[in-house]
Amino acid sequence: MTIRKIFCFLFLLGIGACETNTVVPDMPSVLVSEQINLTNIQYNNLRLDNGYVYLKSGARGIIVIRKSATQYVALERTCTYHPQDTCGIVEVDVSGFYLVDPCCDSQFDLFGQVIKGPATYHLIQYATAISGNFLYITN
C-alpha cells in the first residue's frame, strides 16, 4: 500500500510539473492561426537550426525559431513584464543565443523561459505542427 501511495504522489506531482498554461496578468488575448510555407524564400532562415523569423501576427508579433528539422518554437513578442507597455517587444539578441526586451532589459532563452528579470513569467508559446512543407502556428 505504501508503494502505491508514493506512485500516486509522484504521478500527481508529474502532472503538476507539466502545467504550461500560465496566466500572465494584462496580456492581450488574440487568435493565432498561421500557415507558412517553409520553402518560401522569405523563410530561408528557418532552414537552419536556431534560425528565426518574425511574423506580424499575435498581439505584437511572433518569433518563430527552428530548433531542428522537426521542431519549431513560436513565441509571442509581447514582453510579460508589463504587457501593456507599447515598447515591450521581445527580439532576438544580436548574439542569437537569447531573446531580449530592450525596454525593460528582461532576457528569455530560445524557448521563452525567463533567464533575467524583471519579467517573472515566461513568454507565451504557441503550438506548432508541420505537415509537408507547411508549418502551422495556433493557440
Question: Using CA atoms, how far apart are residues 62 and 40, in angstroms rounded to an integer?
Answer: 18
What percent of the chain clears pLDDT 90, i.e. is strictly above it?
Answer: 74
- SS3 readout for 26-93: CCCCCCCEEEEECCCHHHHHHHCCCCEEEECCCCCCEEEEEEECCEEEEEECECCCCCCCCCCECEEC
Q: What is the pLDDT of residue 8?
A: 40
- The residue with greater pLDDT, 63 or 13, is 63
| Segment 37-88, tens digit of pLDDT | 999 999 999 999 999 999 999 999 999 999 999 999 999 999 999 988 888 9
Average pLDDT over residues 83-111: 94
Q: What is the pLDDT of residue 136?
A: 98
The single-letter code of the amino acid at 109 is D
Q: What is the pLDDT of residue 22?
A: 59
Q: What is the pLDDT of residue 85?
A: 86
Question: Helix, strand, or coil here: 11?
Answer: helix
pLDDT beyond 80 at 114:
yes
pLDDT beyond 70 at 4:
no
Element housing 125 (H / E): strand 125-131
Q: What do you get for the CA distance between the two ends of the chain, in Å? A: 42
- The residue with greater pLDDT, 46 or 17, is 46
pLDDT beyond 80 at 5:
no
Q: Which domains are delineated in the chain?
A: 30-138 (2.102.10.10)
Show the cell assigned to 108: 528569455
Question: Helix, strand, or coil here: 111?
Answer: coil
